[in-house]
């Protein structure tokens, strides 16, 4: 059984906290935990806009707090994000995520991330096992 405390991770396990411009993510479960997925609590700064495309991962996201929107760049369709809304990127969808208010999201990745991934210029992360150059956030 794995039991972790969010506040303990933030305070004592900085290697599980990843930040970039206008977002941060606390990785509660990672690949080396052996669960077959990773689980994160992610914070997006109010007023921020992010373009992502997880070419090598599937992601599902549940909004716990805040208000924003997600736009599917293939269709142009935009959906409201608010507490209680979940979206799943089942086609590795390239998208824009906008935070009208600070967004607090629970995220699940499959395959799991290792914790060392960085977002590339195109919004993607390396495939599991792919050797990449680490970039400090």
pTM over 0.95: no
pLDDT: is 116 or 6 the higher one? Answer: 6
Per DSSP, the three-state class of 94 is coil
Question: Alpha-carbon distance 97 to 82, whole Å?
Answer: 12
* Per-residue pLDDT, 20: 85
Contacts of 5-10 spanning 24+ positions with Cβ under 8 A: 6/41
Q: Which two tokens stand for residue 99?
A: 């935070």
17-110 CATH fold: Jelly Rolls (2.60.120)
Could you read off the pLDDT of 75-93 as tens digits, one per residue? Answer: 999 999 999 999 999 999 9
CB contact at 8 A, 46 and 101: yes
* Per-residue pLDDT, 137: 31
Check pLDDT > 50 for residue 136.
no
Average pLDDT for 11-40: 93
């Amino acid at each position: 059984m794995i039991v972790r405390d969010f506040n303990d991770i933030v305070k004592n396990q900085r290697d599980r906290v990843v930040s970039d411009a206008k977002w941060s993510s606390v990785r509660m479960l990672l690949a080396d935990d052996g669960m077959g997925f990773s689980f994160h609590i992610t914070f997006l700064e109010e007023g921020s806009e992010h373009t992502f495309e997880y070419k090598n991962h599937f992601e599902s996201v549940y909004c716990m707090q805040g208000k924003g929107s997600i736009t599917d760049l293939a269709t142009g369709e935009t959906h409201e994000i608010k507490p209680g809304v979940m979206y799943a990127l089942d086609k590795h969808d390239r998208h824009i995520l906008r935070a009208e208010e600070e967004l607090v999201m629970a995220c699940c990745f499959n395959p799991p991330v290792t914790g060392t991934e960085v977002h590339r210029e195109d919004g993607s992360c390396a495939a599991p096992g792919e050797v990449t150059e680490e970039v400090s956030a």
